[in-house]
Amino acid sequence: MSELPPSPAAPAASASSTSSSPRARSSSPPRSRRAVVNRLLGRAADGLPVPYQRGQLAVVVGVIAVTLLVGALTGGEYGYGLLGAWAVLSISTLGFYLVFGLSGQFAFSQAAFMAVGGYTSVAVARHAGFLAGFVSAIVVAALVAALLALLISRTEHFAFAIATLAFGFVATVVFREWEDISGPGGEVLGIERPSLFGHTFATDEALFPVLVGALAIALVVVALVERSPVRREAIAVRDNPVVATLSGVFVQRRRMLLFTLGSAFAGAAGSLLAHRSAAIFPETFSLQLAINLFLALLFGGMGSMWGPLLGALFVTQVPERLRFVGRYQDLIYGALLVVIIVAVPDGLAGVTGRASRALRAYAHRRGRTTATARAPLEADEAAGPAAADEPGAAAGESAVPGRQPPGQGRTSGPAGDAAPALAARDIDVRFGGVRAVAEVGLTVGAGEIVGLVGPNGSGKSTFLNAITGLVPAVGSLEVGGAAVPLRRPARVRAAGVGRTFQTPQVVEGLTCLENVMLAVPERRLAGLGAALGRRRAMISLERARAQRARVALARVGLAELADTPANQLAYGWRRRLELARVLVAEPKVVLLDEPAAGLNEAETRWLAEMLRSLRAAGCSLLIVEHKLALLNDICDRLVVLRLGEVVAAGEPAAVWADPRVVEAYLGGGPAAPAPPAPAMAAGQQAAGTADAPVAAPTTAGGNGDAAS
């Protein structure tokens, strides 16, 4: 068995990304001091991602203790009334955080589900008591939310917001007219105060511990969701649904789950509001309440589970404290809102985040923590094999975790009668009257590297989008001899096909480690049930996923950036992160869309070595690229597209000599241009395209050009 070449060296960052590239590595502090700093800064110390190390449950205990202390120091029903209003609004806003803040669904239905919970609880409590009414409110709100989510699952963004707003109006009309449930005009008066185990909480002071207990349960549920794969997948669905889909996340299921759970929180809050107020009206759950919930989340901070608490405190307390200014109350309150939006755009909870970042920067300057990146290597002949201490850098280790290298060397296609690794036949894509891909057929043999080239607008990226299920297409697709349906990204991924894009696609709301963990094929115990009820087994699987992700990150030279947010990465590092996310899934076939775009000479050499190592590990590669010298250096065959049709295919030298290829690039002519150099020598300007008859690569997204 042949050994793999060493892991490619990390090249110098491109000039365009120098300003944002990570700082050089400093000397490592003693292990004990590093562990203390990591714990203080919220870093993963035992292999798990950062969210598992933030101590949310400990903070929940502290929040509840402070709330009870404030309650003990509060005097009078007025003070307890304000605290009770804050607790109820906080529960509903926590639900809105799950719906909007975490999964990105802009819903105006939270107040409507409070109405569902309130009216349901009152109706059931008349016959079975408060506790039965409270549980019924949660269940009914969740069921109605699940049904609504199913009905509007195909809508997004503005249409989704309008649909949920319409639901709110419908709910108001139903409760106003359904007198068997509510009363004349939707008014329900004389609601009994909550009663548990024979004790009635007749005053706001007596009810306060019950409301705090309900808030504590809500906080614990949200904290457990934050420390689970549900959070990671929800953020991926929110920030980059395409990446989520190609990573194996069921986008619609995750959206429905978070919408249902958040609406159940609203049902619980509506029940508490109804029994606390002793009277409810349709106007109680009006659009004004929906706006207050939105303001509470916005001003508290949509990026943190603690934002709803701070925002609810602001919305309930500040207007009351401004009563002394009389008719200027609304003016001053509005001015405060504007100041907060301008001064703290990420909400009041963002102040804590800024303080944490400042502490991190201070610790770095003092040399008390490890830097987040190794020093870039010089872009010259000294760029050699990776350091021996990098996981996966040793010779003979597979570039794809868990796969044994079968041997090296170029191949010309499937060996013998073996089925091709990928076979796409008669792929046809139309956008209205435009035929972007016209019955294209293409095969990639086992262990083969095939280049897909052509002028801009020839349909290359659209072809990749078609076979990965991102655009409607007709034709047939086989992976390893097994038929795979088109327009089913999950099935394509499960068959062993990985994909990168023209512009690196990462989930900016996650760290590098979480980005790669997103694509780990092992998906057991990744749902809400495991997050709430099977914590030990779920954590064990998460550690295994994190370990696999760290191996993939080390393979592309990002091991020390594991806990760095993806939105802080420079362009070249994002390319590597995207490749690591593909590698962790152990693909049989990797589709790369302009992987060298934006890379300098040293980075392009690193990429070429990485692609060779992937081929040696058993992967088949289909590469769309404009740097023809790179393709000539690593590809076994080239396929040329023009206006969505195949015009030539074969070995690179034969393809460049084909008159049809010359015409495709230059529009025809009496003589063919000289083909690009057959290989990239060490000192060649491989990053440029001066020797290739092709336009400079675009920087559009994966499918930004209709037929690119």
Residues 443-452 have pLDDT tens digits of: 999 999 999 9
- Does residue 74 register a pLDDT over 90? no
User: Could you tell me the CATH number of the domain that includes residue 521?
Assistant: 3.40.50.300
Interaxial angle between packed helices 157-177 and 287-300, expressed in degrees from 0 to 180 and rounded to the nearest 10: 140
Cα gap 435→474, rounded to integer Å:
12
- Does residue 670 register a pLDDT over 70? no
Cα gap 448→420, rounded to integer Å:
9
pLDDT confidence of residue 405: 42
Determine which of 317-331, 557-571, 577-591 has the lowest per-residue pLDDT on average. Answer: 317-331
Where residue 160 falls among pLDDT bands split at 50, 70, 90?
A: very high
Give, for 504, the enclosing helix (H) or strand (E).
none
Determine which of 384-398, 517-531, 592-606 has the lowest per-residue pLDDT on average. Answer: 384-398
State whether 525 and 647 are in the same domain. yes
- Domains contained in the chain, number: 2
pLDDT confidence of residue 417: 57
Whether 86 maps to a domain, the answer reads yes
Whether 8 maps to a domain, the answer reads no
pLDDT confidence of residue 323: 84
State whether 527 and 646 are in the same domain. yes
Determine which of 121-130, 266-275, 373-382, 524-533 has the lowest per-residue pLDDT on average. Answer: 373-382
Where residue 706 falls among pLDDT bands split at 50, 70, 90?
A: very low
pLDDT confidence of residue 451: 95
Q: Cα torsion for 707, 591, 645, 416, to the nearest 10°?
A: -170
Confirm if 461 and 705 have CB atoms less than 8 A apart.
yes
State whether 275 and 389 are in the same domain. no
Listed residues 652, 681, 697: the one ending a domain: 652
Whether 45 maps to a domain, the answer reads no
State whether 413 and 539 are in the same domain. yes
pLDDT confidence of residue 87: 95
pLDDT confidence of residue 357: 65
Q: Compare 558 and 350 and report the one with higher pLDDT.
A: 558
Confirm if 422 and 390 have CB atoms less than 8 A apart.
no
Cα gap 196→205, rounded to integer Å:
15
Order of all β-strands in the sheet with 474-479: 434-444, 422-431, 474-479, 482-483
Where residue 102 falls among pLDDT bands split at 50, 70, 90?
A: very high
Cα gap 260→369, rounded to integer Å:
41
Whole-model pTM: value is 0.80
**CA separation, residue 161 to residues 48, 140, 167 (Å):** 36, 22, 10
- Does residue 336 register a pLDDT over 60? yes
Whether 238 maps to a domain, the answer reads yes
Cα gap 694→101, rounded to integer Å:
45
For 58-98, give the DSSP string: HHHHHHHHHHHHHHHH--HHHHHHHHHHHHHHHHHHHHHII
pLDDT confidence of residue 187: 84
Which residue is it, tokens 């109820």?
A: 88
Listed residues 251, 269, 285: the one ending a domain: 285
Whether 701 maps to a domain, the answer reads no
Query: Mean pLDDT over residues 136-147, rounded?
Result: 96
Cα gap 500→505, rounded to integer Å:
7
How many alpha carbons fall within 13 Å on the CB side of residue 687?
18
Determine which of 318-322, 378-382, 561-565 has the lowest per-residue pLDDT on average. Answer: 378-382
Mean pLDDT (the chain) is 81
Confirm if 220 and 60 have CB atoms less than 8 A apart.
yes
Q: What is the 3-state secondary structure (H, E, C) of 180-248?
A: CCCCHHHCECCCCCCEECCEECCCHHHHHHHHHHHHHHHHHHHHHHHCCHHHHHHHHHHHCHHHHHHCC
Among 259-273, 414-428, 652-666, top mean pLDDT goes to: 259-273
Query: Mean pLDDT over residues 622-642, rounded?
Result: 92
Domain span at residue 547?
Answer: 383-652
pLDDT confidence of residue 366: 67
Whether 178 maps to a domain, the answer reads yes
Query: Mean pLDDT over residues 70-74, rounded?
Result: 86
pLDDT in tens, 166-214: 999 999 899 888 877 777 778 888 888 898 888 889 889 999 999 999 9
- Does residue 540 register a pLDDT over 60? yes
Whether 329 maps to a domain, the answer reads no
**CA separation, residue 586 to residues 247, 402, 404, 622, 682 (Å):** 12, 7, 11, 16, 30
Determine which of 342-351, 524-533, 545-554 has the lowest per-residue pLDDT on average. Answer: 342-351
State whether 218 and 69 are in the same domain. yes
State whether 252 and 387 are in the same domain. no
State whether 605 and 459 are in the same domain. yes
Whether 563 maps to a domain, the answer reads yes
Cα gap 464→467, rounded to integer Å:
5
Which residue is it, tokens 């230059």?
A: 666
Strand partners, 450: 622, 637
Listed residues 248, 270, 285: the one ending a domain: 285
Q: Cα torsion for 471, 474, 480, 481, to the nearest 10°?
A: 170
Cα gap 523→537, rounded to integer Å:
12
Which residue is it, tokens 């395209």?
A: 689
Strand partners, 648: 640
pLDDT in tens, 208-256: 999 999 999 999 999 999 999 999 999 999 999 999 999 999 999 999 9
**CA separation, residue 322 to residues 187, 289, 327, 343, 623 (Å):** 30, 19, 10, 21, 64
